[in-house]
A and B are shown apart, each in its own frame.
Chain A
Amino acid sequence: MVKKVLFIVLSTSLLLGASAYAHSGRTDSNGGHNCSPKSQAKGLCSGYHYHNGGSSSSGSSTSTTSKPAASSDKDCSDFATYDEVVEYWNSKGYSATYDPENLDGWGTGQVDDGIPCEAPGNYDKTKINNSPEQVHFKQEQADTKRGEENGHAQGLKDGYEESGADDSTSEGSNAYTSGYSSGYNKGYEEGQKKIEAEKLKAKTEGIAQGKKQDEMAIPESYLKHPGLKASFKSGFNQALQERIEIMKKEYQDLGYKDGKKDSHSPPEKVNDLFVKAYQEGYEIAQNELKQEYFDMGYEAAFTMLKYKDPNLTNDKFTQWYNDGFDSNEEIVEIQNSAKSSGENGDEYSIPSKYEKAEVIYKHYYKKGYQQYEEEQKQNQATAAGGAGVFALSWLGRRLYVARKMIR
């Protein structure tokens, strides 16, 4: 009976002892153990490593972070993948300073790196809660955000003020600098868009004012910004110029009408520009009028053998008419052609290109033809005279011979 009780007690104590060993992560007396082939295959650990910082199976190595984890304490080999480790780690809120299950490092908190078990080489450690990588990553994100905000503000200001873009900064970390640059460029573009929209508005207002008045009055709000001021001015000047052009056109038309009527009365008490425009219009019309009378005279030359006064009311018009009449050199060509045709004894036929000058052509053809007839008569007379002289000579010779024979 005693033996039986002893066996039961020993068996129980052995079982309980074995259970307590496994419960502490199956670490040895130093708080570490060799990585099992199964865990190595999963990539959770390699070689000998520690979990409890070398302590034995207490499971509550640090008094400050101790937690009643005895019933759920896990070991690296309990997870199928490293993602499960991380998920567990994160869900528990563990970190380098709070690792009651000794999933990270030595277990005593002395060499903890905040990475549970052993992360595969290419694993993204920023996923691991409170890991140095995550802490660093978060810091970078914060820096980037702050840089973006500061850069955006500065870029917006520079873009709006239309100053040269400079997205560099000497302050902060690389993440801050990069964020600053990105935010600056974005802000600069927004600033440019904003100022462009305002400039358009300023120009529109300038145009509206330029349409109403000659004197420019720039609103105070535009005086502060050189770009806005220039846009307003540009709009105003554009509208003013358009107005001036319209008025110049009106005065030019007026001058043109007067020029056609040959009545010169330039506007008084107006800008010299408008007087000049009137004068231009007047001269254009006068030149056209001159050309009309000149052409009239030129054409008349085709129909007249001698100049006839056109009986125009204005001496200036008559002079232009005469100039046109005198300048017609085609007439000489027509006269020569007609005379030559007549002199050759050609039958009368006016070439189509001279039809408009039929009177002249006919007249000079007749002249030429008369000459032709006279020449013909003269030739006949000469021929007749020659024959007579010959006949007389011959007859004289015969008379001389006859007299000689009867002597």
Chain B
Amino acid sequence: MGIYQNICYKVEDLLVKAIAKKLDPAEVKAKVSNYRNEKEMTRLQRKEARVPRTTKNV
């Protein structure tokens, strides 16, 4: 999954660079980083919120 995510990030970076030429690169970079962190946090929260399946709570 790590490799696939890296490939996706690389392609997305290229596309961002292409469609946001007129924007400030630092701002763009921050937005991208912010978006990805949020996504990562959401993913982690969802993972933590998931109750482990045991024989007691079935």
Contacts and interface: CB of A to CB of B under 8 A. Distances in A.
A406 B16 contact: yes
Contacts of B23: 406
Interface string B19-58: 1100100001001100110000000000000000000000
A406 B11 contact: no
Interface string A364-407: 00000000000000000000000000000001001101111111
Helix, strand, loop or mixed for chain B's interface? helix
A407 B20 CA distance: 10
Contacts, number: 29
B12 A406 contact: no
Contacts of B3: none
Helix, strand, loop or mixed for chain A's interface? helix
B12 A405 contact: yes
B11 A405 contact: no
Please classify how large the interface on chain B is, using the bins under 10, 10 to 19, 20 to 34, 35 or more: 10 to 19
Nearest to A401: B12
Nearest to A407: B31
B8 A405 contact: no
A168 B16 CA distance: 149
Nearest to B13: A402
A235 B11 CA distance: 122
Contacts of A398: 8, 11-12, 15
User: Which of A399, A402, A404, A407 lies at the interface centre, i.e. has the most chain B CB atoms within 10 A of its CB?
Assistant: A402
B35 A403 contact: no
A407 B8 CA distance: 19
B28 A406 contact: yes
Contacts of B16: 402, 405-406
B19 A402 contact: yes
A405 B35 contact: yes
B32 A405 contact: yes
A157 to B, nearest CB: 130
A403 B36 CA distance: 13
Contacts of A399: 15, 19
A395 B11 contact: yes
B19 A406 contact: yes
Given A398-B15, A399-B15, A406 B8 contact: no
A366 B27 CA distance: 67
Contacts of A407: 31
A98 B14 CA distance: 182
Interface of B: 8, 11-12, 15-16, 19-20, 23, 28, 31-32, 35-36
12 contacts: A398-B8, A401-B12, A402-B12, A402-B16, A403-B19, A405-B16, A405-B35, A405-B36, A406-B16, A406-B19, A406-B23, A406-B28
Interface of A: 395, 398-399, 401-407
